[in-house]
Amino acid sequence: MADEVILLNFWPSMFGMRTRIALEEKKIKFDYREQDLFNKDSFLLEMNPVHKKIPVLIHNGKPVLESLIQIEYIDEVWPGINPLLPSDPYQRGQAKFWGDFIDKKVYGPTRLIWGAKGEEQEAGKKEFIEVLKMLESELGDKIYFGGETFGYVDIALIGFYSWFDAYEKFGSFSVEAECPKLIAWAKRCVKRESVAKSLPDSDKITKFVLELKKNIGIE
Amino acid sequence: TPCRRLCTFKKEAKLVSKRETMEAERSEEVKLLGTWASPFSRRIEIALTLKGVPYEFSEQDLTNKSSLLLQLNPVHKMIPVLVHNGKPISESLVILEYIDDTWQNNPILPQDPYEKAMARFWAKFVDEQIYVTAMKGVGKIGEERDAAVEATRDLLKLLEKELVGKDFLGGKSLGLVDIVATLVAVWLMRSEEIVGVKVVPVEIFPEIHRWVKNLLEVDVIKKCIPPEDEHLSYIKARMDRLKIKSVQ
């Protein structure tokens, strides 16, 4: 029986980008379905009744939720090509630790950078840079977070790179000035086909954020 | 034939003793930095005990963090931290999966990738949704507390649904989600007595109550959760301190 793989996504989501990258790394054919998050359709609500969020990965009719869980699932179901997680339990634990760190620490501050003003925005900027510096330190001189091979932690973080131009524009700062090694890492990642296919252009994201700010009444 | 049986027995004995040797080697030097009352620390003890892994427990004072804790978990500076042969791992869900990967007897995660993904989803749900929401009511009174209770109940209804037809959240036996959800079965439900609000009444949550009974009968759970009387005293003392703070 041929595998049926569907991805419900919303193109600017840095979380949805993760799952796209994982699927592309494994060269899995999937049906990409763009969702309108302001007008959620019944299929999305049926597949993710608990959180009503994207991305939703549907494999042979069964929904898998949460982007990091989806990466692990994809790695376990399609192990033959481009392993996304290390096989050593300790290395795997380290990868999951940093994935969890990215989930908990990156998104929050970025919302303040493009969504707030004054002190709140400054606080968001400060925290964002601190968090990026910790990640940069963890990266060290490695090519990717996992070492020689592109994997889980790289996938967890790289989607945010497509939003960097927007953060820099609204926050008036330069990520490269603060974290040059991280930018070098990001540029290496986007050379990969899976990443190039999955990350939208930065200016599209910036336009999207401008629209979003107008729609929710901040400017 | 007797000869073949003996050969198989010898082979198996060799395999068993080799496995035991490897297990013994792996079991060396397991240390857990945690606290007596933390559900996140206790869940690690449950997993280690379930797998028969001997460990050294190091009670931490979170009001005065030790240099050891800060050295082993510089990123979050929190417990629990598991140290295995000198290498530290933090974040309780990450630690639980590491334990399952390293000591393969009595698995806590299912084998099937889809079932595994579901278990991971529900574990996260308990920690990131139920726990966070329930905590919003701690130390609060009146409308604020009632809102938190309502929101917690809405989330618990999803857990209630999951339990229909199952003895445990992991199915026939204890699994990752059961271990994580001791947070609900033990910590949340023991708090009810002290807080004076039935967050999880049996009329609305018959499946959860049934599951709690099952859970509390499991040896490893009985062994690893804080003893009831002491725990209730601890919770009461904590609530009193919070009330004093909120009045101030």
User: Of A36, A57, A77, which residue constitutes the final position of a domain?
Assistant: A77
Whether A96 contacts chain B with CB within 8 A: yes
Query: Would you say B88 and B72 are in contact if contact means Cβ atoms under 8 Å apart?
Result: yes
Confidence of residue B243 (pLDDT cuts 50, 70, 90): confident
Helices within B74-140 (DSSP H only) = 92-102, 113-125, 132-135
Beta bridge partners of A6: A31, A58
Give yes or no for residue B23 having a pLDDT over 60. no
pLDDT in tens, B59-117: 999 999 999 999 999 999 999 999 999 999 999 999 999 999 999 999 999 999 999 99
- Domain residues for the domain of A52 are 5-77
CA distance A15 to A37: 14
Please indicate, yes or no, whether residues A101 and A153 belong to a single structural domain of this protein. yes
Q: Which residue of A has its CA nearest to B103?
A: A89
**Side chain identity, residue A19:** T
ipTM for this model: 0.95
CA distance A168 to A160: 12
Give yes or no for residue B9 having a pLDDT over 70. no
Burial of A110 (0-12, 13-18, 19+ CB in 10 A): buried
The beta strand positions in chain A, using DSSP E, are: 5-9, 31-34, 56-59, 62-65
pLDDT in tens, B185-221: 999 999 998 878 899 999 999 999 999 999 999 999 9
Whether A62 contacts chain B with CB within 8 A: yes
Please indicate, yes or no, whether residues A64 and A34 belong to a single structural domain of this protein. yes
- From the list B75, B87, B121, the residue facing A66 with the nearest CB is B121
Please indicate, yes or no, whether residues A182 and A107 belong to a single structural domain of this protein. yes
Q: What is the pLDDT of residue B20?
A: 60
Residue to test with chain A: of B26, B53, B120, B161, most A Cβ within 10 A: B120
**Does B125 sit within 8 Å of A73, measured CB to CB?**
no
Please indicate, yes or no, whether residues A121 and A151 belong to a single structural domain of this protein. yes
Q: What is the pLDDT of residue B18?
A: 62
As given in the structure block, the two tokens for residue B101 are: 């990967």
Residues of A in contact with B117 (CB under 8 A): 64-65, 69-70, 72-73
Mind telling me how many Å the CA of A90 is from chain B's nearest CA? 7
The superfamily CATH assigns to domain B1-106 is: Glutaredoxin (3.40.30.10)
**Do the domain assignments include residue A83?**
no
10-residue mean pLDDT profile of chain A (219 residues): values are: 90 97 98 90 85 93 97 97 97 98 96 94 97 98 96 98 97 96 98 98 96 84
Q: What is the pLDDT of residue B3?
A: 57
As given in the structure block, the two tokens for residue B80 are: 């629990």
Number of other CB atoms surrounding residue B4 within 10 Å? 8
Please indicate, yes or no, whether residues A100 and A190 belong to a single structural domain of this protein. yes
**Side chain identity, residue A126:** K
Q: Which residue of A has its CA nearest to B120?
A: A69
**Side chain identity, residue B151:** A
Topology annotation, domain B113-246: Glutathione S-transferase Yfyf (Class Pi); Chain A, domain 2 (1.20.1050)
Residues of A in contact with B95 (CB under 8 A): 93
As given in the structure block, the two tokens for residue A213 are: 């700010």
Please indicate, yes or no, whether residues A115 and A162 belong to a single structural domain of this protein. yes
Give yes or no for residue B159 having a pLDDT over 80. yes
**Does B120 sit within 8 Å of A72, measured CB to CB?**
yes
**Does B93 sit within 8 Å of A73, measured CB to CB?**
no
**Does B114 sit within 8 Å of A62, measured CB to CB?**
yes
Confidence of residue B137 (pLDDT cuts 50, 70, 90): confident
CATH number for position A197: 1.20.1050.10
CA distance A23 to A34: 16
Q: What is the pLDDT of residue B245?
A: 61
CA distance A172 to B70: 34
**Do the domain assignments include residue A164?**
yes
Provide the chain B residues 114-143 that lie in CB contact (below 8 A) with chain A.
114, 116-117, 120-121, 124-125
Whether A89 contacts chain B with CB within 8 A: yes
As given in the structure block, the two tokens for residue B235 are: 């919770």
Give yes or no for residue B21 having a pLDDT over 60. no
Whether B102 contacts chain A with CB within 8 A: yes
Residue to test with chain B: of A5, A26, A67, A90, most B Cβ within 10 A: A90
Question: DSSP letters along A83-107, please?
Answer: -SS-SSHHHHHHHHHHHHHHHHHTH
